[in-house]
Amino acid sequence: MPYMQPRGGWIELICGSMFSGKTEELIRRVRRAEIARQTVQVFKPALDDRYSVSKVWSHSGVHCEAEAIESASEILTRLRPGTTVVAIDEAQFLDWVVAEVADELATRGLRVIASGLDLDFRGEPFGPMPLLLAQAEMVDKLHAICVVCAAPASRTQRLINGQPANYNDPVILVGAKEVYEARCRDCHRVPGKPGKDE
Ligand code: TMP
Ligand code: MG
Ligand code: ZN
């Protein structure tokens, strides 16, 4: 449920593993804001070109128009007068300035809806997400279903040629089902992770 603040703005954060429905939930909130005759701008990092650079797509196929940005500060420069709701998908790919931008917008009285991966494939906090998590008035952590044991999944497993990716692999690798699957803590594997026997 969106946080109701009679005056002023706020930050809502939707996080969780891949395939947990984050983008679908973001789009649902955007649609509801539009029905409520709010003026919404949706942003996404240009880096995520999986389906289209000018659209936000969920794994289930739900999509909406979005403005692709190279850096978080572009949100402020592209902001139109009259916009009351700002949605940001895949926030984990943006620079840390996104937390300052979200804070500035909320302080100006806008509603900010951000979504992104809280953890990378190594099971470590992803980019600026920890800052957004701390600043948000409201946080929803969504779960997918572990493909191995069917428990609620909080982690994302990266698979390269069917094998768990090594801890030292680059953090950013844009993709979907061909490289990633949802897993629970127990079934998540990260060979080479310091302090873990694999
Ligand atoms: P999704 O959360 O909307 O499914 O998209 C997550 C995107 O992040 C997807 O393009 C894969 C990418 N990704 C990385 O770049 N590194 C990672 O460690 C993980 C788990 C995902
Ligand atoms: Mg998504
Ligand atoms: Zn499992």
Structural domains in the chain plus CATH codes: 10-143 (3.40.50.300)
Please determine, for residue 121, whether its predicted confidence score (pLDDT) is greater than 70: yes
**Residue pLDDT, tens place only, 34-70:** 999 999 999 999 987 766 668 888 888 888 899 999 9
Residue 196's pLDDT band (boundaries 50, 70, 90)? confident
Q: Are 143 and 16 in contact (CB under 8 A)?
A: yes
Please determine, for residue 2, whether its predicted confidence score (pLDDT) is greater than 80: no
Residue 5's pLDDT band (boundaries 50, 70, 90)? low
Please determine, for residue 165, whether its predicted confidence score (pLDDT) is greater than 80: yes
Alpha-carbon distance of 58 to 64, in angstroms, equals 9
Residues, beta carbon < 5 Å, ion ligand 3:
146, 148-149, 151, 184, 187
User: Bridge-partner residues for 88, per DSSP?
Assistant: 43, 114
Please determine, for residue 1, whether its predicted confidence score (pLDDT) is greater than 60: no
Question: What does pTM read for this prediction?
Answer: 0.94
175 to 17, 49, 86, 166: CA distances (angstroms): 13, 9, 25, 17
121 lines ligand 1 (CB under 6 A): yes
Q: Which of 69, 148, 60 is nearest to 86 (CA)?
A: 69
Which pLDDT score, from 0 to 100, does residue 3 have?
57
Q: How far is the CA of 13 from the centre of ligand 3 (A)?
A: 25
Which pLDDT score, from 0 to 100, does residue 195 have?
84
Which pLDDT score, from 0 to 100, does residue 86 have?
98
Please determine, for residue 197, whether its predicted confidence score (pLDDT) is greater than 80: no
Catalytic residues: 90
Q: Choose the residue to mutate in 20, 140, 173 for probing ligand 1, maximizing ligand atoms within 8 Å of C-beta.
A: 173
CA-122 nearest atom, ligand 1: 18
Q: How far is the CA of 11 from the centre of ligand 3 (A)?
A: 31
Ligand that lies nearest to the alpha carbon of residue 151, given by its number in the listed order: 3
Judged on CB neighbours under 10 Å (0-12, 13-18, 19+), 177 is: exposed
Which pLDDT score, from 0 to 100, does residue 58 have?
87
Give Cβ neighbours of residue 53 (< 8 Å, ≥ 6 apart): 46, 68
